[in-house]
């Protein structure tokens, strides 16, 4: 394969940084831009960037993300910013001849009440979880944006825009802000601070009963490159053009309670855990059916305990927050 020029949108985030680490090991030119250099919310800036930079592939990992509290507190920001970023990037990539693009979504696109494990065909079959509905709607729109460009311009312009829907992610460069983070970074920080400060108890939102599937971000990066570079013949032989996104998960889930006690042990916190039943649990279970990507030839490599241990070491070694 000839050398490609690849733009990773959102390279400073957890997903984008994992993609950049992996792609830097290939014989390609990787282009990244921080927010000061390229504001993806600015139509004018994105248009100028694609017009003056020859790009072969785009990994669209840029997004406004957060946990339950963040989604509840900033719903307008979540829907507006995500819609705007993906609209700008996909549209101006297309107008300037980008043939290959991978859009990264989220498992929250699926209905709150649906069959488990969740298959790709479950999209748009029921109501969304209210706590992150604006974000989910934006991500659904991103899937349909890529599908629609493929349907209208795939043959005439030779474009191939694909979408990957990861389960709950964790790993290096995560967000450890307790007000806006996801469950794993929040728990790692809570248990670490409790250990350092000799707190007797760590309080955790919800009942601890919901089940979640977690995937290390380096496994997602491998899945992303795998799907991006899979031949059209193989990919579109398995994919419906009107339902073209692909799930990627670990294939296993565990309760938040089990996760909490696993992290407690990894951090070496000797106190107790208290679950706050007055706080929301979110969707009870979200286990993605990853048979499609598994059958295409990809499988995860990183076990949860190993991934959590490495993530905690990364947190300690890189001063992601200060006690």
- Catalytically active residues, by annotation: 135
Q: How far apart (Å, rounded) are the C-alpha atoms in residues 56 and 138?
A: 25
């Amino acid at each position: 394969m000839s050398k490609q020029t690849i733009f990773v949108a959102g390279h400073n985030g957890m997903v984008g940084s994992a993609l950049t680490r992996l792609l830097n090991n290939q014989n390609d030119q990787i282009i990244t831009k921080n927010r000061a250099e390229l504001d993806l919310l600015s139509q004018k800036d994105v248009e100028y960037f694609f017009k003056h930079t020859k790009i072969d592939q785009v990994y669209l990992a840029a997004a406004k993300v957060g946990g339950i509290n963040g989604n509840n507190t900033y719903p307008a920001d979540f829907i507006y910013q995500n819609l705007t970023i993906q609209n700008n990037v996909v549209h101006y990539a297309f107008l300037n001849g980008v043939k290959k693009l991978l859009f990264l979504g989220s498992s929250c696109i699926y209905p709150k009440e649906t069959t488990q494990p969740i298959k790709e065909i479950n999209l748009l079959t029921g109501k969304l979880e209210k706590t992150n509905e604006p974000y989910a709607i934006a991500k659904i729109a991103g899937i349909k944006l890529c599908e629609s460009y493929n349907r209208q311009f795939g043959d005439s312009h030779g474009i191939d825009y694909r979408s990957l829907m990861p389960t709950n992610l964790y790993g290096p460069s995560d967000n450890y802000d307790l007000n806006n983070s996801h469950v794993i970074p929040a728990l790692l920080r809570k248990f670490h601070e409790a250990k350092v400060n000799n707190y007797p108890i760590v309080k955790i939102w919800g009942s601890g009963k919901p089940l979640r599937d977690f995937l290390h971000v380096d496994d997602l990066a491998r899945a992303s490159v795998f799907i991006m570079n899979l031949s059209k013949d193989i990919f579109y032989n398995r994919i419906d053009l009107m339902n073209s996104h692909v799930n990627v998960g670990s294939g296993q889930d565990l309760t938040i309670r089990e996760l909490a006690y696993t992290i407690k042990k990894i951090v070496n916190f000797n106190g107790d855990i208290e679950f706050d039943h007055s706080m929301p649990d979110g969707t009870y279970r979200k286990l993605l059916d990853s048979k499609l990507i598994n059958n295409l030839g990809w499988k995860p490599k990183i076990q949860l305990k190993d991934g959590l241990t490495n993530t905690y070491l990364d947190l300690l070694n890189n001063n992601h927050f200060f006690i």
